[in-house]
Amino acid sequence: MEARNRPLPDWFTRLRSRQLVLPRFQRFEAWNHGQINALLDTVLRGLPSGALLTLEVGDKEPFVSRPIAGAAANGERVIEHLLDGQQRLTALWRSLNDTYEARTYLIKLGPDEETGQPYFAISQARWQRQGRKYPLWIDQPEKLWERRLLPASLLNPVQEAEALVKDWAKSAAGNDPDSMIEIIQLVNRLRSIFSSYNIPFLSLPNSTDRETALNVFIRMNTSATPLSDYDIVVAQVEASTELSMHDLVDLLSDKAPNIHVYASKPADLMLSVSALLQSKTPTKSTFLAPEFSEKMIEDWERTEFGIQRMLKFLDEEGIPDGKRLPTDVVLSPLAALWAITPIGLDAEGTARILLRRYMWRSFFTERYDRTSATRALADFKELSALLNGESDKTPMVLDEEQYPLPDVDALMFAGWPLRKDRAARGLLAISLKAGGHDFADGRPTSRDSLKEREYHHLFPRAWLLAKGYSEALADTAVNCALVTWKTNRALASKSPSEYIKDRMASSNIDEAVIKSRLETHLIPYEELVSDSLEIFRKRRAELLHQKMVKLCNGELV
């Protein structure tokens, strides 16, 4: 195995000419837009993003292959297989070529509130309506420049992008030649960062047999996990107080068993809640400070109490588990806020309305799509000041101008809830809150029943694809409902009107019962059986939007 260096433009050249492809056994794209933003920031800051692993290809490809998503499907002879690094290279290729259908990546000019960097990556959700891509301002250079934003695609290091830079700068600057020069110089400076960015890689020679290459791939993707922040805190606590952190966490799990339902790493949640209660940012530097451990032990009962109340609140709000949680960033601020919220009577009732507004708005705005730790602390401080009567200022997270709720059209294009799509999971949470009774057996959604439920396409995916609809339109939250696996199999690939008709024919239930069960998912019956995806998507998005607005206003639904 040989270690080498290769600049980003050379990687792109190989992708564009199909010299570099993926073995088909690799999983498909898995990164969300937050991870892609973070990678772009890594490049902008000149930090390493890790090494890749390739396998040189001789006369014959050792594995059946496919191109990286969005890259060339045809081209020159394949000379390399990418064994490790697909997510990173795909994210760079697609964001800098603007080939993501549902999101555009941008560079914000202005200091990053967390790192202080003079520019950083953000992204904007996109959707199609009547043949046009919204929001429209993303494709209007002058509107972007007013917001001090640049399309990430302008920073593509390939030479052909140079002409695009000049044309974009001319449109953005209008009739101002000084602004045009400023934009071109700025873009070229940022492009040079990407042009010179080096991505090292390990290269297996083409003499490597298939079995060895597979074993190396498996080992690199199942390597041991490094020492976590929690492990270090455990050592510090036990060294200074002789208390066992593991015992404390076990006690918390006994008192609040549902913590494992919502948090994959309860210990990390505990650290974050403690940090917020100390008015500190829940980050590694805070956790590793010597004084943090001592204060955490002093404040243990309050941390434990807040987590218990937060878990109860999530259950009462109809959030069944962490797999369906739109964003896990809310867990630590909610627990810290419940730790300081009065118990009972009007004080708790008022706090509950505020915390309901906070949680649901976090699900449907982009507040936590970046710098989440910094913003979690800022929101905790502003919301706690409001709870304690120390301020009447509207917290940033509740500011509708800074963080507007999506409109009906945006909800129509929210992605598939099984993936880590915040808005999609938010819509699923709303539909489950309405009851979510199974279409066949009539059981309501519960934490226990979720174990046997599957994500069902209301307009079946195969049926839509056969009619020429795109996968993106098929895989949307408004076309999704959770039903039992038995029901999902029985519905098959028929039109909605056909499977509803079959459902009634194979049982003793009538149309009214089916209609009432669908309504518990906020599924409009008449629009569903019309077999018109366009009519159905619009109406269901309207119903979900109505409930979203109420929840984000703190109302009971």
Query: How do the pLDDT tens digits run along the chain, 557 residues long?
Result: 667 899 999 999 999 999 999 987 777 788 889 899 999 999 999 999 999 999 999 988 888 888 999 898 888 899 999 998 999 999 999 999 999 989 999 999 988 877 788 999 999 999 888 888 999 999 999 999 999 999 999 999 886 777 789 899 999 998 789 999 999 999 999 999 999 999 999 999 999 887 788 777 766 665 444 556 666 676 666 555 666 677 788 888 888 889 999 998 888 899 999 999 999 999 888 887 778 888 988 899 999 999 999 999 999 999 999 999 999 999 999 999 999 999 988 999 999 999 999 999 999 999 998 778 999 999 999 999 999 999 999 999 999 999 999 999 999 999 999 988 899 999 999 999 888 898 888 888 888 888 888 899 999 999 999 999 999 899 999 999 998 877 767 666 789 999 888 878 777 778 899 999 999 999 999 999 999 999 999 999 999 999 999 999 999 88
The pLDDT of residue 285 is 80
Among 175, 195, 215, give the residue marking a domain's end: 195
| 418/373 same-domain check | no
Residue 208 lies in a domain: no
- Is the sign of the CA dihedral 258, 259, 265, 266 positive or negative? negative
Cβ of 451: how many Cβ atoms within 10 Å?
Answer: 8
287-298 pLDDT per residue, tens? 877 788 889 888
> pLDDT tens for residues 207-216?
988 778 877 7
Q: Based on the fold, state whether residues 150 and 37 are members of the same structural domain.
A: yes
- pLDDT computed for residue 528 by the predictor: 95
For residue 245, give Cα distances in angstroms to 231, 233, 238, 264, 294: 9, 8, 7, 18, 12
Residue 363: domain span? 229-398
Coil, strand or helix at 77? coil
Length of the chain in terms of residues written: 557
How far apart, in whole angstroms, are the C-alpha atoms of residue 106 and residue 139? 11
* 216 in Cβ contact with 204 (< 8 Å): yes
Per-residue pLDDT at 146: 94
DSSP-assigned letters across all residues of 465-529: HHTT--HHHHS-GGGEEEEEHHHHHHHTT--HHHHHHHHHHTSS--HHHHHHHHHTTT--HHHHH
Report pLDDT for 123. 94
In a domain, 202, yes or no: no
Q: What is the pLDDT of residues 420-435, one digit of tens each?
A: 889 999 999 999 988 8
Closest CA to 333 of 352, 353, 308, 359: 359
CA distance 103 to 82: 25
Two structure tokens written together for 37: 């933003």
46/161 same-domain check? yes
SS3 406: coil
Q: Which tokens belong to 332?
A: 């630590």
Tokens in use for 550? 């109420």
- Helix (H) or strand (E) run with residue 261 in it: helix 259-262
- Which residues are bridge partners to 454 per DSSP? 483
Residues 454 and 337 in one domain: no
- Clarify whether residues 412 and 371 are in a common domain: no
169 domain-assigned: yes
Terminal Cα-to-Cα distance of the chain (whole angstroms)? 60
Burial of 285 (0-12, 13-18, 19+ CB in 10 A): exposed
CB 103 within 8 A of CB 124: yes
Question: Which regions of 164-246 does DSSP assign to beta strands (E)?
Answer: 201-204
35-68 exposure pattern, b = at least 16 Cβ within 10 A, e = fewer: ebbebbbbbbeeeebeebbbbebeeeebbebebb
Let me know if residue 220 belongs to a domain: no
Same domain, 7 and 43: yes
Amino acid occupying residue 1: M
How far apart CA 113 and CA 125 sit, in angstroms, is: 22
- The answer to whether residue 268 sits within a structural domain is yes
Query: What b/e string do you get for 484-507 counting C-beta neighbours within 10 Å, with b at 16 or more?
Result: beebbebbeeebbebbbeebeeee
End-of-domain residue from the set 195, 216, 239: 195
> Do 328 and 449 fall into the same domain?
no
Neighbours of 540 (CB within 10 A): 28
DSSP letter string over 6-58? -BHHHHHHHHHTT-EEEETTS------HHHHHHHHHHHHTT-----EEEEE--
Q: What pLDDT score does 229 carry?
A: 67
For residue 291, the model assigns a pLDDT of 82
Report residue 420 CA to chain centroid gap: 5
Q: Which of 378, 398, 418 is the last residue of a domain?
A: 398
Tokens 């209007």 identify what position? Answer: 140
Pair 302, 414 in one domain: no
Tokens of 157: 């290091």
Per the DSSP assignment, residues forming a β-bridge with 483 are: 454
486 lies in the same domain as 343:
no
**41 and 180 belong to one structural domain:** yes
CA distance 298 to 111: 36
Q: How many domains does the chain have?
A: 3
Note whether 286 and 161 are same-domain residues: no
557 domain residue, yes or no:
no
Q: What is the pLDDT of residue 115?
A: 78
Residue 223 lies inside a defined structural domain of this protein = no
pTM here? Answer: 0.70
pLDDT of residue 224: 43
Query: Amino acid identity, residue 453?
Result: R
Same domain, 64 and 113: yes
| Radius of gyration in angstroms for the set of CA atoms belonging to the chain, rounded to a whole number | 26
Q: Does 210 reside within a domain?
A: no
pLDDT at 535: 97
